[in-house]
Structure formats: structure tokens, C-alpha cells
Amino acid sequence: MNIKFSRSVLGLALAALCPLLLNACSTGQIVARSSLAIIDSGVTVMNRETDLELAKAAIPANLKLVESLIQELPTDRELRIHAAQGFYGYAFGFVEDESPERASALYRRGLAHALVALQIAGVREDVLAMPLGTLQKALADLDRDAVPALFWAASNWAKWIDLNRTDPARIAELGKVEALMRRVLALDETYYFGAPHIFFGVWYGGRPPMLGGDFALSEMHFAKARDITHGKLLAVDLFYAQYLAVQESNRRAFHDKLTAVVSAPLDLYPEMALANTIAQHKATMLLKKEDELF
């Protein structure tokens, strides 16, 4: 068999395979996979944004783009995590204060994406339906790769419950949320700029001791989150003031923490400029309610 003939045979073989390859991987899937790097870059760029109005206008289109890619790649874990993170960030930063009902629906959508990511990570059963003990056993088998799915599931779920706290069915789910975030804390306490510690700072600091609060534990978790970010992530002190200081009736800490947040320089943490700008906006709003809270 000469080289010319071999190439002809190879060409015919490839031609025969093309329809099979196209069926296995559609044009939409090819485009979607090629867009993943752009999505990652888009998140980085958005995190550096300091103009809240620009970010508020841009994020919904980005979310729909991610969901369009998910339509083509429904089992892509990273896309599901991007969606879960995006819905959480948009609801928290731009919707919740003005429209809690709409924010609740957005957190629920974020949770749905995170739960798919969690299934892909290894929790095969329906997390919403399984008993707490079964969930805890399933979580014990997860490794560090599952941390993003665990974290964004717990974060969206907690906010969904918080905005529906009059619903006994939602309140009953708090144990599962805690289990998810405790697994994150065990696997990677530094994930997303120490956010697991911020979560438990709020968890223990946002309610009185008779209802499970523990101010010493809250203080410890906030301190650890502050250490992890070297004091550059303003959300730590925002939540400290909003939850722990209010529960302790510590007006001075409330005022001093929020005043420091508002006066922080815009370039304090360029990688998280948007989060810090949102924190400053929320701190300004909370300071206006100081007399009501104390």
C-alpha cells in the first residue's frame, strides 16, 4: 500500500466519521466549550468593577449567557457553579434590599444550579429530599473538588430560607444548610476569601444564645475571615456589624465597623472591588438605620 493510497483511505475514514462526531458533539456544544475561558475572564473582570450601576446592568445578560451555555452543556460543573455564584451575587448585591420576593426566586434558581453541580460532584440523591443523616454520610465522601458546589448550594439555600422564614418547611432545612457549609469548612476554610468563616460568623452571631447563637464563636469566625483576607474584604466587618454587633447591642462596634467600611479606599482589594463597593453601599444604608436598631 503506497502513501498516496493510505492518505486516500484515511480521508475516506474521516469523512465517514464526521457525521458521527457531529452527532456526538453538536456545533452548539463546540461553541459552548470554547466559551468557557471567556466566562472565567468575565467573572474576573466583573469582580474588579467599582461602578454599581454598570455592574447591575451587565450581570443579568451574563447570567443568561451562562444559562445558554448550560443548555448545551447541562452536566458541566463549572458552568453550574458560575450560575449559582452569579444568581447569588446579583440577588444579594442588587435585588434583595428592594425586592425580597424577587431575590428569593433568584436564590432558588442559584440553588438549583448548585445542586446539579453537587450531583456531578458525587451526591447522587436529591439533597432537598434526603434525611439529614443520609446527607451527612454522603457529604463525608466528598473531597476538596466538591467545595465550590457545596459552598454555593449552602449560600443560596441559606438566603432562600432567610427570605422565607415564616415557612416552617424552609426553617426545617437549616440543618442541611449547616451540614453543607461545615463540610466546606472542613475541606477548605479559605474558599472564596474565607467565606465559610463569614457564614458561621453570621450563623452564630445573628441570633440570641437561647436560639442557638454563640457570640464567642461568631467573634472567632469573623476574626479568622479577617485574617484570611488580611482585613481587605469589607463584607467581614459589614456582617459583623449587621449581625453580631446588633445582637450584642454594641452600638459603638456597629458604628465604628460600618464607618470604617464606608471610608475604605476603592483600591483596597482590586480583585474583589465589586464586593467591596457593594459592602460600602450596604454599610451606608445600615448607618442610616442606626437609631432604629439601637
Taking only the tens place, the pLDDT of each residue in 120-149 is: 999 989 999 999 999 999 999 999 999 999
The pLDDT value given to residue 10: 39
The pLDDT value given to residue 3: 42
The pLDDT value given to residue 34: 57
Whether this model's pTM surpasses 0.85: yes
The pLDDT value given to residue 1: 45
Whole-angstrom CA distances from 275 to 10, 89, 291 are 55, 9, 26
The pLDDT value given to residue 25: 56
The pLDDT value given to residue 42: 82
Q: What residues of the chain score a pLDDT lower than 70?
A: 1-26, 28-37
The pLDDT value given to residue 266: 87
Nearest-angstrom CA–CA distance, 138 and 136: 5
The pLDDT value given to residue 9: 42
**How many Å is the Cα radius of gyration of the chain?**
23
The pLDDT value given to residue 4: 42
**Within a 10 A sphere around the Cβ of 246, how many other Cβ atoms?**
20
The pLDDT value given to residue 39: 75
- Interval 32-65: pLDDT, tens: 665 666 777 788 999 999 999 999 999 999 999 9
The pLDDT value given to residue 186: 98
